Structure 1
Amino acid sequence: MDPQKQKEQFQYAYVCALAAHAGLNRGSFDVDDDSIDITFQAKGNFGSGRLRSPMIQVQLKCSSQQMIADDVIKFPLKIKNYNDLRGDDVVVPRYLAVLLVPDDLEEWIAHNEDHIALFKSCHWLSLRDYGPTDNQTTVTVDVPLSQRLTSKTLWQMMDRASAGESL
């Protein structure tokens, strides 16, 4: 398999594991023409929000490149993805998730006697309040290392979505 496809599949599996742990349903569209790779949904009344069955949408990116500087991932995002993910004029909150994996494929996963471990870490960013850019091909966005995507974070995103907000 092409190494980039392996990264895409690994990240999909990574976030699916988080969703399963959080008790969230997930789905994807056959055609990715709106920069959305995966959608998460909660069933019925959720948290303290007023909206039932909240949803969030996520663009997945995976890289083994050394992109960390000053406690952020300096991620070059294609302008189409940037424009699709930014702004507050969408019904469902949108997020960018960047998974950093080791350079060596053999280090992505560890098989142990009683568990497996997935490496390394996934981080998220909301582009909701980002404005237009004059860039033509890419925009480098800063994804804070402090914004780790976990099953708890997915719950928090869903809770905010049920209140009609996003993080």
Structure 2
Amino acid sequence: MTDRPDARQTYPALYAAEHGGFSVVPAAYVFLVEGDRVLLQLRANTGYYDGWWAASAAGHVEAGEPVTLAIVREASEELGVTLAEGELEALTTLHRTAPTGLAVDQRVDFFFACRAWSGTPALQEEKAADLRWFDLDALPERTVHHERFVLEGWRDGTLPAITAFGF
């Protein structure tokens, strides 16, 4: 504890022990967009939604990493492109769950769109099998459920700043 009015405080160990049993996994997603088209990757070799089309780039936010830098990092790692934080358009924050009740299924997803980047998007990792542009009005049938929810809501102008999915 400090008396400095500008000092940030942390939770005491006892408080954390009593209230730290619930956690959410933070993830960041970016959709690269050109006009009315969105770049999607075909998931593969992950064990989760393999064979389904998903965000241009996405991944977990690492400890101590701001969400905007997480998506800049993921776009570089997955697509070989460079994004500027100032070019990211926040779409929604999605609080999501699955019916398992497992801690790993408690998620908070930060979705962004980006219309400007440097480099040519190309797959950099083996967790995707293909990369294609799709019209926002003609998304593939097998688009990851919560990502389709975000894309369609954004396209239709009905996507709130904060949404819940799976509850």
Give the TM interval when normalised to the shorter protein: under 0.3
Which is higher, the Rg of structure 1 or of structure 2? 2
Normalising by structure 2, what TM-score?
0.27
Q: Taking structure 1 as the reference length, what is the TM-score of the superposition?
A: 0.27
